[in-house]
Amino acid sequence: MVAILSHNPPEVDDSDTPSDQALLLRARQDPEAFGLLMERYEQPLRRYLMRLTGWGSEEVSDILQEAFIKVYRHLNDYDDNLKFSTWMYRITHNQAIDIIRSSQTKPFLTQVSLEEVANFIPTNKDPESDFMQKDDFEKVRRAILDLPVLYREILILRFLEEKSYEEIVDIVKKPKGTIATLIRRGRAMLLEKLNSNT
Amino acid sequence: MSALTQKTLQEITEKNIQPISRWQIETKNNVYWVGTLFLVVFSALATAVSFHAIFEIDWQAYQKAHFSWIEMLLSGVPIFSLLLLASFLWGSVFFLQHTRRGYRYPIGVLFGVFFFSSVSLGYFIEESPLNDPAERFLLQSLPHIEKLPVSLFPTTKQQWSQPERGLLGGVVLQSDEKSIELLDSAQKTWTVEYTGAEVSDDTKLQIDDEVKIIGSQSDEDTFHATEIQKWENSHRQEEDSDEEHVESKRSSEESEDDSQEEDDHEEEQDEHEEDEQDDHEEDETDS
């Protein structure tokens, strides 16, 4: 239940559900077991990709399929020190970033819901007085997608995917200090964009 | 099973995609570790060479020849080996960051750690008996390093081959009370006038003496000296001269031994001749 609320897939099994690790071991021999892992992670990763890229379902499916094949090819490269979900996010993230950088396609829709917009506002700001009162959520959503990918990816992982700093470090493969700086600057840029638009 | 899962599994089966083998992955990871280690060692060697060059340079001579601070730095700092050091450091950081968990360490910290490791190890190499093998290794790897301009890699020889800037070194070919004839490292003969020059006590200006001269170039092959020193400013050269001294002493001892042996041999020969002569005289008496 907690996992569903935080949009994260289950990491550990109960008595009936095999754990990610167990499925991983089986998947090295049997692609069908890998199918179960894909099933488990498809929705959370799809949602993450939509938030990150701002692209439609079809484009995101293509990225996801490529990411899954990459995961399968690198099954033996899984580092036991990482959470399996972190590793899945990392590969999917890298796949998406590669495509975003090589593509001229701009985001054409945002998958950030109105309720989620408030997550981006720094805690020392009063969202009600500063932004929400203005009933201008669409501008906020547009500002999020206008952010450079470097900042957008970190903000989405932190505030929408609700990943810990440690997990973000392992997903984007950057040191902790860099992550903290990117979050701080990303928020500042977001506020600046919002202020200049209003 | 979702459509995406089915499609992906189908592609895996159709294209016969297999997970990359564990040994390939481990090899790749180990290559990064080994690369890091090698590059740190190379950084240390580059640091040792830099220290070597800096210690060899006679910085006081630059001051006496009226070089400005900037000119001193540009002439005395081994830019080439420092550039090598920077490249090796960058390479070692790059390799470490590509190891499995290398991304967790900030680049600045990695540069700092590798830099201090290289400096410590480099200083140790420079001051230890490893210095000579390390130097030989570098000279073999980079045979043209000594031919680099003084601004890139200064050596003592190059430092004292700047007559136009007031620094000249070489071997005395001939000398009198007013001037000496000097052969420099480029095999050019100079007439050095030293009237009024400060000549160090350990310099006799005899033929075959190696000297360093500070002064100014008068014309194409004439140099006016203001100070003349014996050519031995660095600990390396002192060691070399000590070795030469020991070698010459050893050879003189050997020659003494040889002459002793020759003397003994001559004495034996004389005794033998005397015996023969005695025998001959006895024979004559008998007859």
Write b or e for each residue in B18-36: b if 16 or more Cβ atoms lie within 10 A of its Cβ, otherwise e.
Answer: ebeeeeebeeeeeebeebb
Which B positions 154-193 lie with beta carbon below 8 A of chain A? none
Percent of chain B past pLDDT 90, that is, above it, reads 38
Distance CA A46, CA A139 (A): 24
Structural element, H or E, at residue B170: strand B167-175
pLDDT for the residue numbered A110: 53
Which is more confident, B239 or A159? A159
Q: In the structure encoding, which two tokens stand for residue A22, read together?
A: 């167990």
| Interval A96-125 mean pLDDT | 63
| Interval B274-278 mean pLDDT | 56
* pTM passes above 0.90: no
Residues of A in contact with B17 (CB under 8 A): 69, 72-73
Distance CA B265, CA B260 (A): 8
| Residue closest to A183 by CA, chosen among A164, A93, B217 | A164
Positive or negative CA dihedral for B58, B59, B63, B69?
positive
For residue B127, pLDDT over 90 is answered with no
Cβ–Cβ under 8 Å, residues A161 and A48 = yes
Radius of gyration of chain A (CA): 18
Map residue B107 onto helix, strand or coil.
Answer: helix
Q: Are A42 and B2 an interchain contact pair (Cβ–Cβ within 8 Å)? A: yes
Distance CA B48, CA B78 (A): 11
B181 confidence band (pLDDT: 50, 70, 90): very high
Q: Count A/B contacts: CB-CB distance under 8 Å.
A: 68
User: Cα angle vertex A47, ends A44, A53, to 5°?
Assistant: 135
The ipTM of this complex is: 0.76
| Residue closest to B51 by CA, chosen among B129, B131, B112 | B131
Beta partners for residue B225, in sequence order: B215
pLDDT for the residue numbered B141: 74
| Residue closest to B12 by CA, chosen among A46, A37, A58 | A37
When mean pLDDT is compared across A39-48, A105-114, B252-261, the lowest value belongs to B252-261
User: A70: burial class by Cβ within 10 Å (0-12, 13-18, 19+)?
Assistant: middle
Residues of A in contact with B100 (CB under 8 A): 79
| Interval B182-192 mean pLDDT | 90
Cβ–Cβ under 8 Å, residues A144 and A110 = yes
Longest dimension (CA), chain B: 136
Q: Are B17 and A73 an interchain contact pair (Cβ–Cβ within 8 Å)? A: yes
pLDDT for the residue numbered B248: 44
Please name the residue ranges forming H helices in chain A: 2-5, 20-27, 31-53, 57-73, 84-102, 114-117, 127-130, 137-146, 149-155, 165-172, 176-197
B57 confidence band (pLDDT: 50, 70, 90): confident
B16 touches chain A (CB under 8 A): no
pLDDT tens by residue, A16-50: 678 888 899 888 888 888 999 999 999 999 989 98
Beta partners for residue B229, in sequence order: B212
For residue A6, pLDDT over 70 is answered with no
pLDDT tens by residue, A172-190: 999 999 999 999 999 999 8
pLDDT for the residue numbered B196: 86
User: B42: burial class by Cβ within 10 Å (0-12, 13-18, 19+)?
Assistant: buried
Cα-Cα end-to-end distance for chain A = 39
pLDDT for the residue numbered B43: 93
| Distance of alpha carbon B120 from the chain centroid | 19
